[in-house]
Amino acid sequence: QEQLVESGGGSVQAGGSLRLSCARTGGTRRNYCMAWFRQDPGKEREGVAALYTDGDHRIYYADSVKGRFTISQNNAKNTIDLQMNDLNVDDTSLYYCAAGPPNPGCGRDGGRILATEYSAWGQGTQVTVSS
């Protein structure tokens, strides 16, 4: 069974940086989408960034994180990472790693990365940004 485990969350001051990592084990799929989502209580799960694992690393970002966050793939470590720079208080959330569809669209609809298109999820890692 495919398993995803997130790490790297923590507390940081506004303007600081964190790097999240998602370790994937037990999976055999190639050329599929990996993504990071975040969700606060009472809010819809928001797609933050997605990457298609086809070698050329086609990526998608939510407008709110463009220019600040970078999603990347480390094949040697079998991880998907999210470098988060210039963090602000609105970035405070529980962040989830997810594995999704085997197509380069990565479950996007109208610019949004849809959680319903993703089938495997980690347990989440908390990111807290203080002003």
Could you tell me what percent of the chain has a pLDDT over 70?
A: 98
If pLDDT is split at 50, 70 and 90, which confidence band does 49 have? very high
Residue 30 in this model has a pLDDT that exceeds 90:
no
Per-residue model confidence as pLDDT tens digits over 59-109: 999 999 999 999 999 888 889 999 999 999 999 999 999 999 999 999 999
If pLDDT is split at 50, 70 and 90, which confidence band does 55 have? low
Q: Going by C-beta distance under 8 Å and a sequence separation of 6 or more, which residues neighbour residue 7?
A: 20, 21, 22, 23, 125
Residue 54 in this model has a pLDDT that exceeds 80:
no
Which of 124 and 30 is assigned the larger pLDDT?
Answer: 124
Residue among 55, 89, 87 at smallest CA distance from 70: 87
